[in-house]
A and B are shown apart, each in its own frame.
Chain A
Amino acid sequence: MEMDLLQRFEAYVASEKKIEPKDWMPDAYRKTLIRQISQHAHSEIVGMLPEGNWISRAPSLKRKAILMAKVQDEAGHGLYLYSACETLGVQRDDTIADLHSGKAKYSSIFNYPTLTWADIGAVGWLVDGAAIMNQVPLCKCSYGPYARAMVRVCKEESFHQRQGFQIMMTLAQGTEEQKAMAQDALNRWWWPSIMMFGPPDDNSPNSAQSMAWNIKRFSNDELRQKFIDLTVPQAELIGLTIPDADLKWNEETGHYEHGPIDWDEFNRVIAGHGPCNKERLDARNKAWDDGAWVREAAGAHAEKRAARKAAANTAAA
C-alpha cells in the first residue's frame, strides 16, 4: 500500500504536477521541505539585521526610504515562508523557537557584518543576486505553496538586486573615498556570496534526493557558475575588481573560471564561528523575549473581547 502511494507520488512529481498540502507525501519529502522552507524563512528574518543596521544612517532620505521598504519586504518574505511551512503541519512559534535555540539554521551569509554604507549596496547586488539564482528555480518546485510564495519573493528580490547595484554604481562613480568604500565592500562580500550556493557538487549531501523530488533543479556548482558569469561583467561595467587573482574567461567553455574557495571558512561560519553568529541570534532572542508581554497582552485582550461578545449574545438571547 505504502509502496503504491510512493510510486504514484514519484510519478506525479516527475510529471511536473504540484503537490498540495492535503495530498499524500512521503515523510522524508515533508521533512525536507520543512527544513528547507523554515531555513529560508529564518534567513529572511535574520537577514533583516545586517541591513537594518544602516537604516538609521542611510545617507539621504531617499536611500533611507528605499532601505526601509527593502527590509520590510524581507519581513514579508519571512511571513509567506512561515505560512508555507505551516501548510506542512508545523506552527510558526515552534519553527521560530528552533531558530532561537540554535537548532535550526539560516543562511550563513548573514553572519558577516555590514561595516559601511557600501555594504548595503554589496548585499543587495551580490547577496540578493545570489539568492535570486537559487530561488528562481524554486518557482517551479514540486510543492505548490512554496513555489507560489517564491514567485512573489523573486519579483521583489530582483528589484532589491537592482537597487543594490545602483548604490554600488553611484559609489563607484563618486569621490575617491566612496570608490574605496565600494571596492572594500566587494572584497569582503564576494567570497561569502559565492559560498551561498553551498558546498561543491561532489560534497553536497542533500542534493540528489531533492533533485529527484523536483525541489532542486540545478546543482550548487551550476548555479554558482551562472552567478559568476552574470556578475563579473557587472563589476567591470562599474570599474570594480573581483577579488580573485585566478579569475579568467575561458573562451572554449564560455564561462569564467574562478580560484579556489575557502571551504574551511564556510564550515567555520556554519559551525557558529563567523564574525556575527552570536550577535544575530542574540538580537533575535532579545526581540522575542522583550516582546513576550506584548504578545501575551494581545492574546489576553482577544480572549476578553470574545468573552464579552459571548456574554452579550447570551444576554440578548
Chain B
Amino acid sequence: MNTRFEYLLRLGDDALILGQQLGLWTGHGPVLEEDIALTNIGLDQIGQARAWLSLAGKAENQGRDEDRLAFHRNQEGFRNALLCERPNGHFGDTIVRQFLFDAYAVPLHAALAQSNDAEIAAIALKSAKESAYHLRHSRAWLVRLGDGTEESHEKVQASLDLMLPFAGDLFFSDEVTTAATDEGWGPDPSDLRADWEAILSDTLSEAQLRRPDAVPEQIGGRQGRHTEQLSFLLAEMQVLPRTYPDAKW
C-alpha cells in the first residue's frame, strides 16, 4: 500500500467534502454576513483540498492531478471521515459539524506543520491560519446558539447528539497513520484526540450544552465505507467531468 498517498488522500478528501457542502449555503444563509462567512470557509476548504490532492497525486505517481482525484473516483475510493459527509441540515447542524472538525483541524495542522516533509509542512502552515479562524467562527456560533434562546439551545443540542457519534472517525488509526509517525511526515490522528476533547469540553461548558452520553462511534470513512449521503454528493459534484470526459474546463 502507498501509505503516503492514502494519508494525503484523507487530508484532501476531508477538506473537499466539507468545502463542497459549505458551498451549498451560498445565498441561503440566515444573515448576509453568514453567507459570506460560510462561503469563505468553504473556499478555504476547497483551497486546502486542491493542495492536498495535488500532493497526493504526486505521491501516487500515476498521473492523477487534483481534478482527476476529485471528479473521477467512486465513493469507495473516497477517504474522508464520515463526519464531513453528514448533510448540511439546518444552520445549527452545519455549525456543529464544522466545530467538531475545526477542533480537530487546529491540532492537526499544528502537528503537520512540524512534518519532516517540506511540502506537507508548507501546506499545513497556511492551513493552520485558516483553521484557527474557522474554529473561532464555529465556536462563537456554537456558544451563541447553545446559550441563546430555548429553541436554539434545544436545536443545537440535538445537532450535537446527532453529529458526535460520527466524529470518532477523525481519529482512526491504522498502518497508514503508523507509517506517518514512523517516517516523521505526519501525526497519528489518535494522538490529537486529547486536544480535541479539551476544546470540546471547554466550548460545551461555555455554550451550556450537555456532552451526550457515550454511544458507539461510527467508523469507516478512511477505509472507503461511507454513509448514504456521499453517493448523492458525488453524483452532483462530478456530473460535468463524468458526462464530458474529454472536455477541458
Known contacts A60-B249, A72-B26, A300-B148; decide if A293 and B155 are in contact (CB<8 Å). Answer: yes
Question: Given the complex of chains A and B, what is the CA–CA distance between A288 and B91 in angstroms?
Answer: 12
Query: Given the complex, which residues of B lie within 8 Å of A287, measured CB to CB?
Result: 27-30
> B152-207: which residues lie under 8 A (CB-CB) from chain A?
152, 155
**Chain B: CB-nearest residue to A296:** B149
* A212 interface residue per 8 A CB criterion: no
Interface stretch (choices B42-50, B113-121, B122-130, B131-139):
B42-50
* B246 interface residue per 8 A CB criterion: yes
> A270-286: which residues lie under 8 A (CB-CB) from chain B?
283, 286
Contact A72 B36 (CB under 8 A): yes
Query: Given the complex, which residues of A lie within 8 Å of B240, measured CB to CB?
Result: 57-59, 117
Contact A56 B236 (CB under 8 A): yes
Query: Given the complex, which residues of A lie within 8 Å of B149, measured CB to CB?
Result: 293, 296-297, 300
* B98 interface residue per 8 A CB criterion: no
B102 → A minimal CB distance (Å): 18
* B145 interface residue per 8 A CB criterion: yes
23 residue pairs A–B, Cβ–Cβ below 8 Å: A56-B20, A56-B236, A56-B237, A57-B236, A59-B240, A59-B249, A61-B50, A62-B67, A63-B249, A64-B19, A64-B23, A117-B240, A286-B28, A290-B30, A292-B30, A294-B30, A294-B34, A294-B92, A297-B152, A298-B144, A298-B148, A301-B144, A304-B147
A75 → B minimal CB distance (Å): 5
* A45 interface residue per 8 A CB criterion: yes
Query: Given the complex, which residues of B lie within 8 Å of A292, measured CB to CB?
Result: 30
A278 → B minimal CB distance (Å): 16
Interface of chain B, main secondary structure:
helix
Interface stretch (choices A29-37, A173-181, A227-235):
A173-181
* B35 interface residue per 8 A CB criterion: yes
Contact A57 B239 (CB under 8 A): yes
* A269 interface residue per 8 A CB criterion: no
Known contacts A60-B67, A177-B247, A178-B247; decide if A295 and B31 are in contact (CB<8 Å). Answer: yes
Question: Given the complex of chains A and B, what is the CA–CA distance between A63 and B19 in angstroms?
Answer: 13
Question: Given the complex of chains A and B, what is the CA–CA distance between A56 and B26 in angstroms?
Answer: 10
**Chain A: CB-nearest residue to B16:** A61
A172 → B minimal CB distance (Å): 12
Contact B27 A49 (CB under 8 A): yes
> A168-208: which residues lie under 8 A (CB-CB) from chain B?
170-171, 174-175, 177-178
Contact B249 A61 (CB under 8 A): no
Question: Given the complex of chains A and B, what is the CA–CA distance between A174 and B244 in angstroms?
Answer: 11
Question: Given the complex of chains A and B, what is the CA–CA distance between A65 and B53 in angstroms?
Answer: 15
Known contacts A61-B50, A79-B33, A287-B28; decide if A68 and B23 are in contact (CB<8 Å). Answer: yes
* A21 interface residue per 8 A CB criterion: no
* A306 interface residue per 8 A CB criterion: no
From A58, A65, A174, B47 is in contact (CB under 8 Å) with: A65
Contact A291 B20 (CB under 8 A): no
B154 → A minimal CB distance (Å): 10
Query: Given the complex, which residues of B lie within 8 Å of A57, measured CB to CB?
Result: 236-237, 239-240
Contact A178 B244 (CB under 8 A): yes
From A49, A61, A175, B66 is in contact (CB under 8 Å) with: A61
Query: Given the complex, which residues of B lie within 8 Å of A48, measured CB to CB?
Result: 26-27, 35
Pick the most buried of A171, A286, A293: most chain B CB atoms within 10 A of its CB: A293
* B151 interface residue per 8 A CB criterion: yes
B39 → A minimal CB distance (Å): 4
Question: Given the complex of chains A and B, what is the CA–CA distance between A296 and B152 in angstroms?
Answer: 8
> A22-49: which residues lie under 8 A (CB-CB) from chain B?
45, 48-49
Query: Given the complex, which residues of A lie within 8 Å of B53, measured CB to CB?
Result: 61
Pick the most buried of A63, A64, A283: most chain B CB atoms within 10 A of its CB: A64
Contact A174 B248 (CB under 8 A): yes
B131 → A minimal CB distance (Å): 17
